[in-house]
């Protein structure tokens, strides 16, 4: 297991979960993810990426929601868990993300090369 894998696993465990508004995909726009996170996702064609970007969407968003929910990138997991990335529908976990963990996530983002999903 690489140091990045361990970091991602640690951070994922500390991001609180909550239920999204059924059918909502407001936070499923173009996002970036580390190479380590991208390696966990199915490869999409250039056409699929271009179509999603033109629609300000994600290539992993399907008819019934996120097709890679269990492996979604850290940025996707953050939406709704912190005031910095509040859910537009007011959904949130009972307890928001610990600010120290949020800081560690942003440090990881700064230290790691990211690409457009």
pLDDT tens per residue across span 62-92: 988 999 999 999 999 999 999 999 999 999 9
Element (H, E) at 108: helix 99-111
Report whether pLDDT(3) > 70. Answer: no
Can you read off the two tokens belonging to residue 5? 């894998």
Closest C-alpha to 93, from 40, 6, 85, 5 = 85
101-112 tens-digit pLDDT: 999 999 999 999
User: Rounded CA gap, 50 and 85, in Å?
Assistant: 25
Residue 61 has pLDDT above 80, yes or no: yes
Kindly provide the residue ranges of all beta strands, DSSP E only, lying in the chain, ordered along the sequence.
32-34, 61-62, 65-66, 114-116
List, for residues 26-58, the tens digit of each pLDDT value.
Answer: 989 899 999 999 999 999 999 999 999 999 999
Which uninterrupted H or E stretch holds 100? helix 99-111
In the chain, domain spans: 3-17+27-116
């Amino acid at each position: 297991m690489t140091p990045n894998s361990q970091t991602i696993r640690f951070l994922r465990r500390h991001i609180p979960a909550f239920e999204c508004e059924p059918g909502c995909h407001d936070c499923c726009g173009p996002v970036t993810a580390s190479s380590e996170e991208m390696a966990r996702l199915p490869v999409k064609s250039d056409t699929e990426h271009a179509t999603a970007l033109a629609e300000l969407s994600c290539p992993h968003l399907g008819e019934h929601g996120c097709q890679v929910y269990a492996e979604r990138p850290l940025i996707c997991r953050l939406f709704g868990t912190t005031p910095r990335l509040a859910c537009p529908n007011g959904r949130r976990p009972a307890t928001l993300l610990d600010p120290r963990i949020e800081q560690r996530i942003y440090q990881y983002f700064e230290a790691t090369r990211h690409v457009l999903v």
